[in-house]
Structure 1
């Protein structure tokens, strides 16, 4: 699979998930799709709740789905949102992504028309704290 077709597959999965988002309060649907270490794609959408802090981000949903389906490593992630601004992962989701990704993992940010910009996780979360910080044997990830 070429890089372009791999990104297209993530985009299609994220857009399909975005269409199912539960956003009665913000009316701002977000979709996310992850490619895991086995090449499988896992998607999630944001799910709002009347008790606002109880909502869930699309990235968190995609990560949960990846774990539930046996994936353990994010090889790439794509997040799609509406509007003119880039819809990058929130701070909490950047840390969630870090738990399962390497600093060089690509994070693609898209709008309805396609990818707008790509970052590495390290660009979005520099000097991050991750599982390797807790490895007392001195090396992981």
Structure 2
């Protein structure tokens, strides 16, 4: 790669991606009960349990046309309506939430745990696009 080519590619990568206003639904799902588990279980066991929960919850979100935006500790942030919008995104988020509650009950029964799940859902206009420092959007 030549120096001018590298400079052009680097400049393009640093540009903030275009953002657009769109109606989105955000689902925030927070697993509860992990603090108590960390006091009595090995960190590897707690990590394995969190990942097992995510392995069940993420496909539910995806089956309802949602996209996982990020994991924050023992929580999931999912988007419905971005990047692709559907007429029933708010309804799909609610249906996903109900199935997610059932999935946690299945994990509790199978593993003899007492995990909880708190879910918040909100819909409205949002600016969908990259945010962050240059080159890290």
Q: Which structure has greater helix proportion?
A: 2
Greater percentage in strand: 2
Same fold (TM over 0.5): no
Using CA pairs below 8 Å that are at least 6 residues apart, which structure has the higher relative contact order? 2
Q: TM-score, normalised by structure 2?
A: 0.28
From the CA coordinates, give the structure whose radius of gyration is larger: 2
